[in-house]
Amino acid sequence: MRHRQCSNRKDLLDDEIRAIDTAINKVQSFQTSSGASTSTSGNLPSTGKKTKDGALQTEIANLQRQITSSDSRQADMLKTQYIAEKEKERDQKKAEQQSVQSQIAELSSSGDTITVESPFSGRVTKLSKELKAPLMTIQDSDALQVAGEITEKQRLHTEEGMKTAITMQKSGEKLEGEISQLSNEPIDLQVKGSSLYPFAVDLPADEKTDKLLPGYHAKLEIFTKTVPDAVTAKEEAVVSNHLWVMNHKGKLAKQKAKIGIAENGYIEIKNPLQPGNWLAVAPKRDLRNNATFITPLEITKIRWKGLQTDKKSNLQHFVTGILSR
């Protein structure tokens, strides 16, 4: 009986793998150009399981409609994502197929007793006491993920592969990851209101993630755009779309502000500035070309111990500084 069950399972897996291969080939044959798509004719092979065949046929039909209504770049991305998902599913089926083949061989040689090896390593999180499927649930310890949802507006600017910054809600632990899965289908399609799209972020297996448990909550930021080595300034330094820069003579010079992305009160400055250049912020009534750049003296921030011991010389420079202003 067990031998027959294993054989039936193997035959089913063989059919499912062939069906997935055919689905992949069919999607690869889609030709995308200027928002239109065509495909070669042909049906998926029958696996004897109408549910599986119907699901694949429906997936391909939905995908083709999405590709037809998309531009060529988005259409190529949809194809690539679908093929990658199916290749992953096929690999899982093949791993299970090898396990079943090992069970059949063991049953043929030893009789009733078999050893079932999981195709994946991990930690056992659940065991069935009633011998009902699934008998065992194994959590992949190397595949820790953060799952979340984004709105329609956020989905427009989000893509797989984007970097993320994660802050654990309770411990405050800082982590980094990248979006590995991003759905094109909303969780629950709403005629009225905003739809939500699920996504997942892969986390590296290291000392920081070893202590994390499923169910922990976290705050996540997605970096939709990054500029390496950007020159930034506080947003308040941009006054009426202009910058007031101190030149080598200590005078103000007005420049049209060329700005980029903004984050946490800082803004990217695309003007030909260098880190360390001084920008005037206030008072705005004194911001004019060739005005003297004045920095207020903040007595409480002076490190008096670091000044020279020659009090007469210090006083002379101090008075000179006041008179020059």
Within a domain: residue 135? Answer: no
Q: Are 163 and 248 within one domain?
A: no
Alpha-helical regions (H) of the chain? 2-28, 50-68, 72-110, 152-156, 207-210, 311-324
Q: Are 162 and 89 within one domain?
A: no
d(CA 265, CA 283): 19
Q: Which of 42-46, 133-137, 168-172 has the lowest mean pLDDT?
A: 42-46
**Mean pLDDT score, 69-76:** 77
Residue, of 300 and 141, whose pLDDT is higher? 300
Residue 48 predicted with pLDDT over 60: no
pLDDT at 46: 45
Residue, of 158 and 52, whose pLDDT is higher? 158
Which of 69, 101, 119 corresponds to the end of one domain?
Answer: 119
pLDDT at 158: 92
Within a domain: residue 62? Answer: yes
pLDDT at 231: 81
pLDDT at 134: 73
Residue, of 252 and 33, whose pLDDT is higher? 252
Residue 87 predicted with pLDDT over 80: yes
Q: Are 173 and 252 within one domain?
A: no
* Secondary structure of residue 251 in the 3-state scheme: strand
Split into its structural domains, the chain has a count of: 3
Q: Are 183 and 165 within one domain?
A: yes
Residues 163-203: tens digit of each pLDDT: 999 999 888 889 888 898 898 888 877 677 788 899 999 88
Q: Are 319 and 298 within one domain?
A: yes
Q: Are 210 and 161 within one domain?
A: yes
CATH of the domain at 237: 2.40.420
Domain range spanning residue 26?
2-119
Residue 109 predicted with pLDDT over 80: no
Do the beta carbons of residue 21 and residue 90 sit within 8 Å?
yes
CA dihedral in degrees (261, 149, 27, 53; nearest 10)? Answer: 180
d(CA 47, CA 45): 6
pLDDT at 262: 81
For the chain, the residue count is 325
- Cβ within 8 Å of residue 96, ≥6 positions away: 13, 119
Residue, of 159 and 139, whose pLDDT is higher? 159
pLDDT at 320: 54
Q: Are 186 and 275 within one domain?
A: no
Within a domain: residue 205? Answer: yes
**Mean pLDDT score, 70-90:** 83
- Six-digit token pair at 99? 């396990």
d(CA 233, CA 275): 9
d(CA 249, CA 34): 57
Within a domain: residue 138? Answer: no
